[in-house]
Amino acid sequence: MTSASELLDTIELDTAPNPTHAVIWMHGLGADGNDFAPIVPHLSWPGAPAIRFVFPHAQVRPVTINGGMPMRAWYDIFQMAAGVREDSAGIHASARQIEALIARENARGIPAANIVLAGFSQGCAMTLHTGLRHPETLAGLIALSGYLPLADTLAAERSPANQTTPIFMAHGTQDPIVIPARAETARRILDSLGYQIEWRTYPMPHSVCPQEIADIAVFLKTVMSAQ
C-alpha cells in the first residue's frame, strides 16, 4: 500500500489543451478510476473551459463487509448502516491523498476555486468529507449515491472557506446498497449546517443514469461559469 504522502495513481482526461479547471472524481468501493471516465464526453457544453478530469485509483485494502477481501477502497466498511463504527483512520488517510491531488492541480496552475470534487458511493463520502474541510474555497462538490461519513465531527472540523460552495447531491430511489434514507439523513445534516444543496433523485438503483449525467453537466457549467 502507498503511504498517504504519496500521490495516488490516476487517469487524466483533458477536454482541451492547457486546462484552467479540474474535476477530481472518486470511484466507489471495489471499482477504480476507469469507472466514470467514459462519461467525460457527456460533461461538456458550448463555450466550456478546458477541464482536466482526474480519476484516482484508491488503495487496495481488506474490506470487512466483504469478508476481508482486498479491493480498492477509500476506507474499510464494517457494516452498511448508519450509526455504526466507522474507519476514521482510513477516511482521514484517504482525505490526505485527495488533498495531495488538489495540491498537484494548484501546482499545475489550477486554483482551488476552479476545482470540483466529485464522487460516487464511497467516493461520494470522501468528496463530502474532504471538500467541506478543505481550507480553500472549491468550485463545487458532486455527491452521488452516497452518505456523509464522520458526521458527528463535521460541525467542529468544517472549513468556513466552503460554507457556501454549491453541492450537487443525487440518489437513486431504488438504491439497495446505500438506502435513500442514509442520503436523506446526510442532506438534513448539511441543511442544518447551512450548506447550499441541489438535491435530485432518480428512479434507479445504485448507479447513474443519463438524466443524472445531463444534470451534472448543467451543474458543472453553472459553477465553472461563476468563476
Among all residues, which ones are annotated catalytic?
121, 175, 206
Q: Which residues of the chain have pLDDT under 50?
A: 1-4
Chain-centre distance for alpha carbon 200: 16
Phi, psi torsion values for 175, nearest 5 degrees: -75, 115
- Quote the percentage of the chain above a pLDDT of 70: 96
> Any residues with CB less than 8 A from the CB of 213 and at least 6 apart, and which?
39, 42, 43
Strands 69-72 and 60-63: antiparallel
Number of residues that make up the chain: 227
Q: CA torsion, points 180, 36, 138, 164, in degrees to nearest 10?
A: -20
* Residue whose C-alpha cell reads 472524481 in the numeric block: 25
Strands 197-202 and 10-14: unpaired
Predicted model pTM:
0.96
Dump pLDDT digits (tens) for 20-50: 999 999 999 999 999 999 999 999 999 999 9
User: Exposed/middle/buried for 113, CB within 10 Å: 0-12, 13-18, 19+?
Assistant: middle
